Each structure stands twice: as C-alpha cells, then as structure tokens.
C-alpha cells in the first residue's frame, strides 16, 4: 500500500509541476533564482501533502469511530442467544508516523527533482512549449 501511495503521490506531483512550467518560466523571467523557485515549489507541495495527510487521518478516525460502534449479532451453535460482535478498530501511531515520514520523503524528493529538471530548461523554451 505504501508503494501504491508513493506512486500516486509521484504522479500527482509530476502532473502539477508540469502544468506549472509557464509559471516557473515567468518567475525566472522576472529574476527569481533557481534556489528560490525550488524552495517555493517544495514548500507548496509539502504544505499540500501535510494538509492532505491530516485530512486523511481525521477521516480515518471518523470512519473508525463510525464502524467501531457497529455491532453485529452472530448466531452461535452452542448458545441459545446470538453473540454480539464489534470490530476492534484502532489507528497505530507508529504506523501512521511511518507512513507520514514515507510520504514526506517521497514528496520532497519528487518535487525537488522535478522542479530542478524543469528549471534546467530555459524560460523562453518553457513559454514557447505551452
């Protein structure tokens, strides 16, 4: 699941950065340095990933609370009355933090590498290609 999430994150970041080629070319034209543009792009993507991860964790907690309160009665062969069963749902902090670290590393790597490759192209070529 982590690999799939990483690939989806890679694809989304790549598409977003490729769509911003014109913006990057304009920033280079008005005097922004490669370092400033890279920092801006990495910080924007990082903020989006942190917000998305936070929303995802909150949605997971809400879903766990909702599903954890559902009780299903299962008929038992040896007992006369059905036995109520609930789902023991929990969100492991260690697993959540490890996913968060993996997503942050993927985000930083992808946004940095793609921003640097787009910045290697001359601004006039970026503007002409769009």
Q: Which domain holds residue 32?
A: 2-63+87-122
Structural domains of the chain, count: 1
Per-residue pLDDT of the chain (130 residues; tens, 9 = 90+): 667 877 887 788 778 777 787 788 788 888 888 889 888 888 888 898 899 889 989 998 898 888 877 777 777 777 678 777 777 778 888 988 988 898 888 888 888 888 888 777 776 666 665 5
72 occurs within a structural domain: no
Burial of 56 (0-12, 13-18, 19+ CB in 10 A): middle
pTM over 0.75: no
Report if residue 115 sits inside a domain. Answer: yes
Residue 76 lies in a domain: no
Could you tell me if residue 95 is inside a domain? Answer: yes
CA angle 104, 114, 3 (to 5 degrees): 45
Q: Is 54 inside any structural domain?
A: yes
**Structure letter (DSSP) for residue 76:** -
75 belongs to a structural domain: no
Please indicate, yes or no, if residue 82 is contained in any of the structural domains.
Answer: no
Which of 113, 95, 91 lies closest to 103, judged by CA?
95
On whether the CB atoms of residues 106 and 53 are closer than 8 A, the answer is no
User: Is 74 a member of any domain?
Assistant: no
């Amino acid at each position: 699941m982590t690999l799939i999430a990483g690939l989806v994150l890679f694809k989304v970041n790549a598409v977003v950065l490729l769509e911003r080629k014109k913006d990057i070319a304009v920033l280079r034209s008005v005097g922004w340095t490669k370092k400033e543009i890279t920092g801006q792009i990495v910080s924007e993507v990082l903020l989006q990933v942190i917000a998305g991860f936070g929303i995802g964790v909150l949605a997971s907690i809400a879903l766990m609370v909702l599903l954890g309160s559902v009780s299903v009665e299962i008929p038992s062969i040896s007992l006369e009355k059905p036995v109520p069963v609930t789902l023991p749902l929990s969100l492991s902090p260690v697993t959540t933090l490890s996913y968060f670290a993996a997503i942050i590393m993927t985000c930083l790597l992808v946004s940095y590498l793609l921003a640097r490759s787009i910045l290697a192209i001359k601004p006039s070529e970026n503007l002409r290609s769009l």
